[in-house]
Amino acid sequence: MKDTFQHKGMRKKLVETLVRKGISNADVLAAIGRIPRHWFMDSGFIDHAYVDKAFPIAADQTISQPFTVARQTELLALLPGAKVLEIGTGSGYQSAVLLEMGMTLFTIERQNELFKKTNLFLPKIGYRPKKMIFGDGYKGLPNEAPFDGIIVTAGAPYVPKALLAQLHVGARLVIPVGDEVQIMTVFTRKSATEFEKETYGEFRFVPLLEDKN
């Protein structure tokens, strides 16, 4: 797998596009500037790796749009070393962004084909999540909770209570909520029983499905 000057040049332009679209977190931009997104794409789409769009990956899923990855990561508002749970490993690109930023990452994928592929691929290119799990993200990861942040990368028809319950006080759940269109929603845990809710506009994701497959 190569990462040429041409790829690096296209990546720099992508980062400039993200800045123009309103991404301001320097650590997020630096991570996206460093990660060869074309390595995460199926061969037919490699030419589009640095276009700010979502693209198909295996098992009818998608690699999220760079803007979406950047916005969700920014909304987690975490420092290096934080313990993060990601629901929907998919291609592993969002995982790589979190790992590049120094997070301790737990990530869950429900599609066995994708799980197996990404489980091999991420360590091969030097990204090592603390744990990659084949399972149902609706349940979170109670044995490893609480987390400093939880990010859901599929459209959730409702907010799973298990995920709210697995946040530290002060931690955030970043989750796109809705059926056809999703509203990016951030829940911040204020106390054992209180959560603050904020919304950040419309996005489109593949659906968060129940059970593993």
The count of chain residues that interact with ligand SAH, using the rule CB under 6 A, is 23
For residues 123 and 116, is the Cβ–Cβ distance under 8 A? no
The site map against ligand SAH for 154-193 (x = CB under 6 A) is: x---------------------------------------
Q: Determine how many CB atoms are found less than 10 A away from the CB of residue 133.
A: 19
CA 12 to chain centre: 21
- Nearer to ligand SAH (CB atom), residue 152 or residue 194: 152
Nearest distance, CB of residue 156 and ligand SAH, angstroms: 9
The site map against ligand SAH for 67-96 (x = CB under 6 A) is: --------------------xx-xx-xx--
Q: Which residues contact 131 (CB under 8 A, 6 or more apart)?
A: 106, 107, 141, 144
Exactly one of 74, 100, 136, 148 binds ligand SAH (CB under 6 A); which one? 136
At residue 168, the 3 state secondary structure works out as strand
- Nearer to ligand SAH (CB atom), residue 100 or residue 170: 100
For tokens 């942040």, the residue is 149
Indicate the residue type of 29: L
For residues 45 and 37, is the Cβ–Cβ distance under 8 A? no
**Interface with ligand SAH, residue 61, by CB under 6 A:** yes
Q: Is the peptide bond before 142 cis (omega within 30 degrees of 0)?
A: no
Interhelix angle 66-76/26-34, nearest 10 degrees: 140
Nearest distance, CB of residue 60 and ligand SAH, angstroms: 8
Exactly one of 110, 117, 172, 189 binds ligand SAH (CB under 6 A); which one? 110
The site map against ligand SAH for 19-48 (x = CB under 6 A) is: ------------------------------
Stretch that binds ligand SAH, among 19-27, 132-140, 179-187, 194-202 (CB under 6 A): 132-140
For tokens 């934080």, the residue is 82
Nearest alpha carbon to residue 127 among 107, 156, 149, 152: 107
Distance CA 51, CA 5 (A): 17
Active site residue 64: yes
Nearest distance, CB of residue 47 and ligand SAH, angstroms: 18
Positions marked catalytic:
64
Under the rule (CB under 6 A), what is the footprint of ligand SAH? 61-64, 87-88, 90-91, 93-94, 108-111, 114, 136-138, 153-154, 206, 208-209
